Chains A and B, each alone.
Chain A
Amino acid sequence: MKIGEIVAASVIDGLVAKLQLGNPEELRIAYPVIVEGARYDFYCLVEDVINEESDIADQLAGSSLSDVIVPKPESHEGYGGPIFYSKAKLRMIQLIDKETKGLGEPQTIPPYFSECRHATREDVELIYQPSAKSAPLGTITGVEPFYVHLDFEKLVEKPFAIFGRTGTGKSILNKLVCASILSRDAGSVLIFDMHGEYGVFSKTDSTEGLKYFFPGKVEIFSLDPRNTEARPFVLDAGQITPEDLVIAFQDLTPPMIDHIYQIDRRRPREVNLITAIREKQATDAEVEGGAIHLMVLQALQRRMGRFERLPFIKEGGKDAFSQMLALIKAGKSIVLDFGDFGTDPMVYLFVANVLARRLFELYTEHTADYPRLVIFLEEAHRFLDPRLVEYSIFSRLARETRKFNLILALIDQRPSRIDDEVRSQLANRLVMSLKEPSDVESALAGVPDKTMWVNIVAKLPLRTVAVLGDAIRIPTVIDVLEYDDLVIREHLLSPGNADEGAIREIAGKADDVFGSG
């Protein structure tokens, strides 16, 4: 259906269409539109919908005259269409050669009066062509149902991020991304599951977790000893480093950090760092020499007391890490369930950092021995805050490990708090609604046509994501798939992927977990 004609065009600034729609509400930001040039079809996204200022409109608005016909598109058809009309700013995204159907970058403009119309399924099919390891993430907004595929092999080649404010559907999107990675065998995943969402069933919304759909590919570890469904997670206290503590406690002062390093340097090797700090007795010489400040030491020791309440830290205990590694090596994915500890940010920061550091060391030394692993890091800004980034292993993970098969996936609601250098490493960004201007700016730093995307992201509805990066042919706004059993089976699970018997068995346990009501 024709929606307008081109009245201005620039390769740099985009196109302007005079709309022939009776109602501008029919067009929305990020809708795909085709402008039919002579030789090319120009695939565009709606950047803005505009009612320009008009002196006549100013004069007529607010009239209290009775028995008059107010000028609206449906009441006043002028000689050249509606007398008051809207315009749309369009951003050219791709050229489609009308003859060869070949795609190209938009380096030219369509002629004046070129017709604009809504993109059809046939148009978008030319652009979004599935690949061997692609899977649908959702439908394109503004087009009859068409499932847009993301190339998950490309996605997991380099660090990527999912940004969005709380409540926009980040977790659902993350689940879909994880499920797609697993269904397409693009890699394995390691998820720090703070809120019990990714295991068999989500504790927050009862939706199915990864273990439900991929019982043979996913193993669950739990920090909570009461979770008998999962393997117990035990951390050897001897593996803890000063950096783990700095990240875990986030509020340590520089003198505290200095004390940790000092104690670490001087502790006997058979005494773990936490015990060394807790049992540290400052000598007179240390106090008088200024090496130890009693107040600082006491503050540190009080903080270390919190580790006593963590049952999964055991002196010389059988560390779960080697077990995890064996599973990862076998191509399994890991969900680390935090149980009741998920509400304690210190525990999350601490455990994630310890595990990531050990994985980093192992992957960098023995790259060839391990398959691709994507570490999903929620609350990423807590690890990658510019103030703490030097202590966190994750900034190195983002910068260095793409060549080592260890890929970092950030999930966060405050991208502005993530270190610039880390953000610059992101090859793909899945950006959901963000309201804070600094977050929008940061989420889109370095993206081509950033101004347009800033406007689009600021107005995204819930459950909608702007995908930008090399895992998708062109930047696209996608209505995220529903996350439920039927949809996942239909779109992500091919017969070979689904272990129907195992799924049925797990589904049967759902009643035990949630009740049959």
Chain B
Amino acid sequence: MSYVDDMHRELELLVRNHRDVPLPPPEEPEFHEFRPAQEARDMIAVDGSYSFLLNLSSWWLALVTVGLLRYSFDGTGFRRRDWRLVQRMVGVSTFEDYVSKQDDLHRSLFEFTKGRREDQPRDMVNEYRRFIEGQTAINFADDLEDAIVAVDGTLSEFPKQFEFMGRLVKVCEKRGHLLVGVSKDSQLHSFGHPLTDEDLMARVQSRLPRGAIAYARAPKASEAVKQGLLYGDIYYARLHPQARKWFRVDLGTFRDRPDFAFGQLAPYAKSLVSIGYPWPLMEAHRMAVTVRQLRPMYQESVIKAGLRMGLDVRTLLDGLTGVEGRKRSAFHEYLDKVARDLR
């Protein structure tokens, strides 16, 4: 039996489960059509990214960047009104004795990600990124009123004791902001269907009138699972008739007025560059990932500072990492290079 036979067997299973899967009854998901608002509020979009720079044994150095942009929409275009770029260097370790000497935040990050083995450094930095995103959003949103605060990802938080998401919700409620978390890609199966929620929406969207924009709420049971960690209601929304996909949108405020909330988001989803996805979030993302594009520059400053502190060049160069923290000098990297070069 060759790999081709394996492929046929496995692929057949995949295709059957994907294509021939029974669809839920017409009332599920429960679609609600809505209309874009005539006058959209300003949108504050927040997204973050990180890049690992150096790994020395069980210790990693990473740079976290959070971009915040405030936009207005006048019916014809997106006007940038304000911006913030926050950068924080973070050192994380997977060695417990070392972590025990760090501050509360680092210890919490360590505890929360414990057991994830080789993914732990990345997860710690990722959580740290979300923390900085939340802080940045809170600081900015507290100075404004009646805007849309759109953060990247879900409105959930870890570690619990820092409660930045809880504080963000409170600030938004106090200032009259509409708070949403928009996930670029979600693998949730809240409808209990073999298809992911996003795929399910795409499969049944033909039930909607042509050209309609709509949202559907995820079953409340799925929210209950995350009780205490989730700060909002989970929805799936198509924000433009030609949107390339449905997005998971967590609604943190105005939870009793989803028509209003999605009506406010829809005008920002009209850009031809990102149809169906709010343009300000797209730009916040582009702003944040500059940390990855400019990694060589940041690494250069790490090398210079390391040398001044007495580290030898070989150690520093061997410790340089890719964006996700893998050392360039890792043996696996060497094997990959040999495999590439010795064709």
Interface presence of A484 (CB below 8 A) = no
Q: In whole angstroms, what is the CA distance A72 to B78 when docked?
A: 10
8 Å CB contact of B273 from A56, A79, A80: A56
- List B contacts of A78 (CB < 8 A): 80, 283, 286
Interface presence of B241 (CB below 8 A) = yes
Interface presence of A60 (CB below 8 A) = yes
Q: In whole angstroms, what is the CA distance A230 to B270 when docked?
A: 77
- List B contacts of A69 (CB < 8 A): 76-78, 270-272
User: Are the CB atoms of B80 and A77 closer together than 8 Å?
Assistant: yes
Interface presence of B231 (CB below 8 A) = no
User: Are the CB atoms of B77 and A63 closer together than 8 Å?
Assistant: no
Which interface class (under 10, 10 to 19, 20 to 34, 35 or more) fits A?
A: 10 to 19
User: Are the CB atoms of B272 and A79 closer together than 8 Å?
Assistant: no
For the complex formed, measure the closest distance between the CB of A245 and the CB atoms of chain B, giving whole angstroms. 73
- List A contacts of B279 (CB < 8 A): 76
8 Å CB contact of B270 from A56, A60, A68, A80: A68
Can you name the residue of chain A whose Cβ is closest to the Cβ of B242? A65
User: Are the CB atoms of A75 and B78 closer together than 8 Å?
Assistant: yes
For the complex formed, measure the closest distance between the CB of B72 and the CB atoms of chain A, giving whole angstroms. 10
Q: In whole angstroms, what is the CA distance A327 to B77 when docked?
A: 72
Which interface class (under 10, 10 to 19, 20 to 34, 35 or more) fits B?
A: 20 to 34
Interface presence of A71 (CB below 8 A) = yes
Most chain B CB within 10 A, of A56, A72, A80, is at A80
Q: In whole angstroms, what is the CA distance A189 to B279 when docked?
A: 68
Q: In whole angstroms, what is the CA distance A63 to B240 when docked?
A: 15
User: Are the CB atoms of A71 and B272 closer together than 8 Å?
Assistant: yes
Interface presence of B83 (CB below 8 A) = yes
Interface presence of B284 (CB below 8 A) = yes
- List B contacts of A63 (CB < 8 A): 272
- List B contacts of A79 (CB < 8 A): 67, 69, 80, 83, 283-284, 286-287
**Known A75-B77, A76-B279: A67·B270 in contact at CB below 8 Å:** yes
Interface presence of A513 (CB below 8 A) = no
Q: In whole angstroms, what is the CA distance A75 to B242 when docked?
A: 19
Contact residues of A between 75 and 129, Cβ < 8 Å to B = 75-80, 83
Interface presence of A25 (CB below 8 A) = no
Can you name the residue of chain A whose Cβ is closest to the Cβ of B284? A79
- List B contacts of A65 (CB < 8 A): 242, 272, 275
User: Are the CB atoms of B273 and A60 closer together than 8 Å?
Assistant: yes
Q: In whole angstroms, what is the CA distance A158 to B215 when docked?
A: 81
Q: In whole angstroms, what is the CA distance A69 to B273 when docked?
A: 9
User: Are the CB atoms of A71 and B275 closer together than 8 Å?
Assistant: no
Contact residues of B between 50 and 95, Cβ < 8 Å to A = 67, 69, 76-80, 83
Interface presence of A74 (CB below 8 A) = yes
8 Å CB contact of B241 from A67, A70, A76: A67
- List A contacts of B273 (CB < 8 A): 56, 60, 71, 76, 83
- List A contacts of B271 (CB < 8 A): 68-69, 71, 76
Most chain A CB within 10 A, of B79, B83, B240, B273, is at B273
For the complex formed, measure the closest distance between the CB of A386 and the CB atoms of chain B, giving whole angstroms. 57
Can you name the residue of chain A whose Cβ is closest to the Cβ of B268? A69
Q: In whole angstroms, what is the CA distance A76 to B270 when docked?
A: 11
Q: In whole angstroms, what is the CA distance A77 to B80 when docked?
A: 6
Contact residues of B between 282 and 333, Cβ < 8 Å to A = 283-284, 286-287
- List A contacts of B272 (CB < 8 A): 60, 63, 65, 68-71
Q: In whole angstroms, what is the CA distance A78 to B279 when docked?
A: 9
Q: In whole angstroms, what is the CA distance A46 to B22 when docked?
A: 64
Q: In whole angstroms, what is the CA distance A69 to B69 when docked?
A: 19
For the complex formed, measure the closest distance between the CB of B274 and the CB atoms of chain A, giving whole angstroms. 10
Can you name the residue of chain A whose Cβ is closest to the Cβ of B69? A79
Most chain A CB within 10 A, of B67, B77, B83, B283, is at B77
- List B contacts of A56 (CB < 8 A): 273
**Known A60-B272, A63-B272: A76·B242 in contact at CB below 8 Å:** no
- List A contacts of B77 (CB < 8 A): 69, 72, 74-77
- List A contacts of B283 (CB < 8 A): 78-79
Most chain B CB within 10 A, of A71, A78, A79, is at A79
User: Are the CB atoms of B79 and A77 closer together than 8 Å?
Assistant: yes
For the complex formed, measure the closest distance between the CB of B34 and the CB atoms of chain A, giving whole angstroms. 15
Chain A residues engaging chain B, CB cutoff 8 angstroms: 56, 60, 63, 65, 67-72, 74-80, 83
Given contacts A76-B77, A76-B271, 18 further A-B contacts (CB under 8 A): A60-B273, A67-B240, A68-B240, A69-B76, A69-B270, A71-B272, A74-B76, A75-B77, A76-B273, A76-B279, A77-B77, A77-B78, A77-B79, A77-B80, A78-B286, A79-B283, A79-B284, A83-B273
- Please give me the 3 A-B residue pairs with the lowest Cβ-Cβ distance, nearest first: A75-B77, A79-B287, A77-B80
Q: List 22 A-B contacts (CB under 8 A).
A: A56-B273, A60-B273, A67-B270, A68-B240, A68-B242, A68-B272, A69-B78, A69-B270, A69-B271, A71-B271, A76-B77, A76-B78, A76-B273, A77-B77, A77-B78, A77-B80, A78-B283, A78-B286, A79-B67, A79-B284, A79-B286, A80-B287
